[in-house]
């Protein structure tokens, strides 16, 4: 959330930052800004709106050093003034995170002074300038300990021919180039620019110049940080003829399943070590990651018969979790940087539980905290709405459940690959257009199902509401009659998922109840008897059978496609839904 890029030692630095910021818009897109440094002179431009609104200003931003920011507002509405960078005297700052005590600091150091913006970030630029005595490290020593909250700060100073980076909780990486250096909030921003990176640790600061990168630890002592390969590939950032990243990423679901299955087999032994002796499992995550945990619970309880609780990370942290050394906490996060999930993992680890991360981000904070990481090999996901990472998470959880049950994961990996083939065929051939039109016209869409189908219904509802803004809820099919049925009328659409033959008749009862109340119903099913029984009464989307436990991967793709098509019909941008951003690194 909030994208940051900085480059030093690069001709036309502001142009490079501009291009790379565009790749980071999924982290926030309500305003953007760039500051450049040219022979000790800082210039900047910042605006409400998308990164492209800065294009005309680049001609005024000279020099070999520049920093940029694309914002997802936390403190202060989206506006030109509140856009980053924030500049005071010799310092210009971009920030990801929240300075929680900014009001108190303002009162203490700048009482009566009128600030330019309403943000929590301006205080950082002001403090740096206030404490500046010609020695930047000294200035940081005085400023950073005062800041409470979280930050990835990227700073330029008129007196320093380079960039200063500081980290407390929010991720930031630095990259090595030939006679130049880079920094960014995400690996993807540096794809194709540099092959080697370092990840700053909590409390680190770094000084980037064209001669190299110097690191300081939280005590402001010189330290080294290891160089790692930058896994981000620039090819992954291309749309390859697809109109949107969301569609491209749905089409990549099959390959993400196959790659995740292969990667699991390679890491299985390490993961098994941490699972041995587990007598209770807690799964935690947010949003889509939480929804994948609902399915993970069913896998683990069915295969291994170990009790599992699933908790949203933001709630779990504050519930005084009860864990023992035999509790395994599975923390699921595409980005590995979601603040609630990372903090929940940190907390339970400190209480003695083992933590297994299920993540698409091998260098993330979550991976660092966890005892072991189950890789989700979805590749870069750019659309704000999670798609291929969700099915990747389900694949990883399926195999992890087999490990817990001492079952053959290789057979499981083969089954996943068969499912991936079916999904690839389905994406090409499923026509969801009529249902999408009904959803786009409706007053609300209810996704229902039982057991695993209910878990997919929950995800279908999240996907639809977040990118089309059509009100939507996911319900267990049996719960409808206990309240929600009151909402059903001719303007509503209900999408019922029936992919478990044993429960089919029960879910069909719910369908009949909706039809009796004149609600429109569509049924996503792989059960031939259901097709026969409901044909003519409900719209039927018949899908192939992937088996009870892998059907959620296929029905999930159908609801993803439905959300995508509905969003297009309503003229929404499916890749950048309003008010949202990917990687929620603030609480």
Q: Choose one: 140-148, 229-237, 334-342, 445-453; the region binding ligand F6R (CB under 6 A).
A: 334-342
Choose, by CB under 6 A, the member of 22, 338, 391, 458 that binds ligand F6R: 338
Residues 247-306 that bind ligand F6R (CB under 6 A): 286-289
Using rule CB under 6 A, residue 8 touches ligand F6R: no
Contact call for residues 90 and 135 (beta carbons, < 8 A): no
DSSP for 41-102, please give it: EEEEEEEES-GGGGGGGGGG--SSEEEEEEE--SSS-SSTTTSSPEEETTEEEEEEEEETTH
Which of 472/583 has CB closer to ligand F6R?
583
Using rule CB under 6 A, residue 334 touches ligand F6R: yes
- CA 498, CA 232: separation in Å to the nearest integer? 38
Which of 70/335 has CB closer to ligand F6R?
335
Residues annotated catalytic, as ranges: 2, 582
CA distances for 213 relative to 3, 135, 408, 563, angstroms? 21, 18, 47, 45
Q: How far apart are the first and last CA of the chain?
A: 11
**Which of 42, 119, 52 has its CA nearest to residue 79?**
119
Residue count at the site for ligand F6R (CB under 6 A)?
15
Contact call for residues 8 and 180 (beta carbons, < 8 A): yes
Which of 87/334 has CB closer to ligand F6R?
334
Q: Could you tell me which residues are beta bridge partners of residue 38?
A: 41
Neighbours of 188 (CB within 10 A): 25
Which of 335/530 has CB closer to ligand F6R?
335
Residues 384-443 that bind ligand F6R (CB under 6 A): 385-386
Q: Burial level of 233, CB count in 10 A (0-12/13-18/19+)?
A: middle
Using rule CB under 6 A, residue 583 touches ligand F6R: yes
Using rule CB under 6 A, residue 335 touches ligand F6R: yes
Phi, psi of 210 (to 5 degrees): -65, -15
Q: Burial level of 229, CB count in 10 A (0-12/13-18/19+)?
A: exposed
Using rule CB under 6 A, residue 493 touches ligand F6R: no
Q: Closest distance between ligand F6R and the C-beta of residue 389, in Å?
A: 7
Q: Closest distance between ligand F6R and the C-beta of residue 380, in Å?
A: 12
Structure tokens at 259: 């790659």
Choose, by CB under 6 A, the member of 341, 461, 484, 492 that binds ligand F6R: 341
Q: Which residue number is nearest to ligand F6R in terms of Cβ?
A: 287
Which of 86/169 has CB closer to ligand F6R?
169
- CA 189, CA 187: separation in Å to the nearest integer? 5
Which of 338/551 has CB closer to ligand F6R?
338
Q: Closest distance between ligand F6R and the C-beta of residue 315, in Å?
A: 14
Q: Closest distance between ligand F6R and the C-beta of residue 385, in Å?
A: 4
Q: Choose one: 3-11, 147-155, 267-275, 329-337; the region binding ligand F6R (CB under 6 A).
A: 329-337
Using rule CB under 6 A, residue 530 touches ligand F6R: no
Which of 28/287 has CB closer to ligand F6R?
287
Q: Closest distance between ligand F6R and the C-beta of residue 335, in Å?
A: 3
Structure tokens at 442: 């409706």
Using rule CB under 6 A, residue 461 touches ligand F6R: no
Which of 31/335 has CB closer to ligand F6R?
335
357-378: burial string, b at 16+ Cβ within 10 Å, e else: bbbbbbbbbbbbbbbbbbbbbb
Choose, by CB under 6 A, the member of 297, 584, 585, 586 that binds ligand F6R: 584
Q: Closest distance between ligand F6R and the C-beta of residue 329, in Å?
A: 15
Question: Which residue's entry shows tokens 């007053």?
Answer: 443
Q: Closest distance between ligand F6R and the C-beta of residue 368, in Å?
A: 15
Contact call for residues 548 and 452 (beta carbons, < 8 A): yes
Binding site for ligand F6R (CB under 6 A): 286-289, 333-335, 338, 341, 385-386, 462, 466, 583-584
């Amino acid at each position: 959330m909030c994208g940051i890029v900085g480059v030093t030692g690069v001709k036309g630095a502001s142009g490079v930052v501009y291009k790379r910021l565009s790749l980071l818009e999924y982290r926030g897109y309500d305003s953007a800004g760039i500051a450049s440094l040219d022979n000790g002179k800082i210039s900047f431009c910042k605006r409400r709106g998308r990164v492209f609104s800065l294009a005309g200003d680049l001609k005024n931003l000279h020099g070999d050093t520049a920093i940029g920011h694309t914002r997802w507002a936390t403190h202060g509405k989206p506006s030109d003034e509140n856009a980053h960078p924030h500049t005071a005297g010799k310092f210009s700052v971009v920030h990801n995170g929240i300075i929680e005590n900014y009001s108190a600091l303002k009162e203490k150091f700048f009482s009566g002074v009128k600030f330019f913006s309403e943000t929590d970030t301006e205080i950082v630029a002001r403090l740096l300038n206030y404490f500046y005595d010609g020695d930047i490290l000294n200035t940081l020593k005085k400023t950073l300990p005062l800041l409470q909250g979280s930050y990835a700060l990227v700073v330029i100073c008129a007196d320093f021919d380079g960039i200063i980076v500081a980290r407390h909780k929010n991720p930031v990486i630095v990259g090595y180039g030939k006679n130049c250096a880079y920094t960014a909030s995400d690996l993807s921003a540096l794809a194709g620019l540099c092959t080697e990176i370092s990840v700053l640790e909590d409390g680190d600061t770094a000084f980037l110049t064209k001669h190299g990168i110097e690191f300081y630890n939280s005590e402001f002592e010189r330290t080294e940080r290891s160089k790692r390969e930058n896994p981000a590939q620039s090819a992954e950032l291309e749309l390859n003829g697809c109109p949107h990243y969301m569609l491209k990423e749905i089409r990549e679901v099959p390959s993400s399943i196959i790659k995740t299955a292969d990667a699991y087999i390679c890491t299985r032994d390490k993961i098994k070590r941490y699972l041995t002796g587990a007598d209770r499992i807690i799964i935690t995550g947010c949003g889509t990651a939480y929804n994948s945990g609902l399915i993970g619970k069913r896998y683990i309880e069915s295969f291994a018969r170990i009790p599992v609780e699933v908790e949203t990370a933001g709630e779990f942290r504050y519930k005084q979790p009860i864990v023992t050394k035999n509790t395994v906490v599975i923390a699921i996060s595409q980005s590995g940087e979601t603040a609630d999930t990372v903090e929940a993992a940190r907390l339970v680890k400190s209480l003695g539980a083992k933590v297994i991360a299920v993540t698409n981000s091998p260098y993330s904070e979550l991976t660092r905290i966890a005892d072991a990481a189950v890789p989700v090999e979805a590749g870069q996901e750019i659309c704000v709405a999670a798609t291929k990472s969700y099915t990747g998470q389900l694949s990883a959880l399926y195999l992890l459940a087999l490990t817990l049950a001492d079952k053959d994961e290789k057979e499981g990996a083969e089954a996943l690959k068969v499912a991936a083939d079916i999904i690839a065929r389905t994406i090409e051939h499923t026509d969801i257009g009529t249902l999408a039109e009904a959803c786009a016209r409706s007053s609300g869409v209810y996704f229902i199902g039982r057991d695993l189908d209910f878990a997919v219904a929950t995800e279908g509802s999240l996907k639809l509401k977040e990118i089309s803004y059509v009100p939507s809820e996911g319900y267990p099919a049996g719960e409808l009659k206990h309240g929600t049925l009151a909402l059903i009328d001719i303007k509503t659409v209900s999408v019922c998922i029936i992919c478990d033959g044993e429960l089919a008749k029960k879910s069909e009862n719910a369908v009949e109840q909706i039809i009796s109340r004149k609600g429109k119903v569509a049924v996503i099913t792989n059960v031939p008897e259901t097709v026969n029984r409901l044909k003519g009464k409900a719209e039927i989307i018949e899908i192939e059978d992937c088996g009870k436990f892998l059907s959620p991967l296929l029905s999930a793709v159908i609801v993803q496609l439905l959300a995508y098509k509905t969003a297009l019909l309503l003229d929404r941008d499916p890749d950048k839904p309003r008010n949202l951003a990917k990687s929620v690194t603030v609480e």
